[in-house]
Structure 1
C-alpha cells in the first residue's frame, strides 16, 4: 500500500471496530482513530539505521501515516512505534526460541522422508535430528524484526532476508496457542489485510 491508500483503509478499520465495540458495550466511550501521529522522517531513518536496511515500502508508508496501531486484528493490541521496533531475539527471546524450535521441527520432518537414514543418525549421535537443540541456529529468526508489542500471545514479525521484487519483506504472525506455527504473508500490507479479515470474522458489524 502507498501512503494515500493506508489512510482510508485505516480510517475504515477504526470506524468499524468502534461500531463493533459499541454494539457489544454501548456504555463504553468511542475509541476513535486507532492510530497515532505519523512517524517523522528522522525516526524512520533511525530505525533503518538500526536495522541496517531500508524499510519495505508498505511498512514505511504505514509509519508515515501512523507510528504504531491499536488492535491489529483481535489478538494484537499494539503495533510498536518505530523507536521500539527491533530484532525479536532481543525483544522477546522466548518467542525467538519458539520460532527456532518450529523451524528445527520442520527440518526434522523433512528428514523423516528417509526414516532408515534418520534412525542410523540417531544411533550414531548425528547432528541432523534429535541431539542438542541449542546447537541449531535459525538464520531467518535470528534476523527477524518484531513490530508488535502486546497481544494475546501473538506477535507480528518482518523478515528482512526474504525480499520480493517490490522490495517487500515477508511478514509473519505467530500465536503460541494456534498450533500452526508462524503464518507467512508476502508483505506487511498483506499481513494487515489478513488481520483486518480476522477482525471481520470475529466482530463483523456494520459501521456508519
Structure 2
C-alpha cells in the first residue's frame, strides 16, 4: 500500500488519509466506478487502493539526482506514500511513478510548441498582478508559456493534452513549486501554490461529479 507520509521541512502532508478516501470513493460501485469505461483491475479492487507501494528514499534521491534538483516536500511525500496513481478525475489517466517523471521539454516538446507557438520571448508577458492570483479569482488564461519548458511532467493521459505539471520557476517561501493543471478545455491552466493544493482541489472536483 505504501508507507506513511514522511516529514519534510517541518510539514507533514496527510497523503494517506486523502488518497485512501479517494480510493474508497472511486471504487464504490454506486458512487463512481460504474462511470468508467472499464472496471478497475481486480488487484486494485481487492486492495482498495488506486496507488502503488511508496517509493523508497533511495529512489527519490536517484530521481532528484537525475533531474538535478530537490523536489518540493508535498510531492516527495506523495511519492513516499504512493509511487504513482490511477485516475484522479476523468481528465487525468494516471500520475506517473517516479521512474517515468521528467521535464516537459524532454517528454512532450510538442505540448510546449503548441502552447508557445514558437519562441516564448515573442509572447506578451503576463504581469505579476495578473499572474499571482490563486483560487476562484484566477484567470486560467493568465499563463506564462515561457515557464513550460522548465516544468516537470508528473501525469499522463493517452491521446490528450491534459496534464499535471510542477513549475520550479515559481517557488513558495517553504519550497513548494507552483502546480498546474493544463487541460484541453481551458484557455491556459489552473494553477496552485503547491501539488498538495492541486490534489485537494482535484479531489473536491471529483466529489462534485457524484
The TM-score by the shorter chain falls in which range?
0.7 to 0.9
Per-residue deviation, 1:101: 3.7
> Aligned-residue CA RMSD in angstroms?
2.7
Task: Give the corresponding residue for 2:15.
Answer: 6
1:161 matches 2:169: yes
Higher Cα radius of gyration: 1
Per-residue deviation, 1:13: 0.5
Contact 2:96 2:155 in 1 (8 A): yes
Correspondences of 1:40-59 after superposition (within 5 Å):
40-59=56-75
Correspondences of 1:14-33 after superposition (within 5 Å):
14-19=23-28, 20-22=31-33, 24=35, 28=39, 31=45, 32-33=48-49
TM-score by length of structure 1 reads 0.74
Which structure dedicates a bigger proportion of its chain to helix? Answer: 1
Choose between structure 1 and 2 for higher RCO, CA contacts under 8 A separated by at least 6 residues. Answer: 1
1:201 matches 2:188: no
Correspondences of 1:28-177 after superposition (within 5 Å):
28=39, 31=45, 32-101=48-117, 107=124, 139-150=146-157, 152-176=160-184
Deviation per residue, 1:172-191 (Å, 9 max, x gap): 01112x13212211000011
Q: How many residues align?
A: 174
**Structure 2: which 5+ runs fail to align?**
7-12, 128-143
Per-residue deviation, 1:73: 1.9
**Structure 1: which 5+ runs fail to align?**
111-136
- Whole-Å Cα distance in 2 between the matches of residues 141 and 175 of structure 1? 14
Per-residue deviation, 1:197: 1.5
TM-score by length of structure 2 reads 0.73
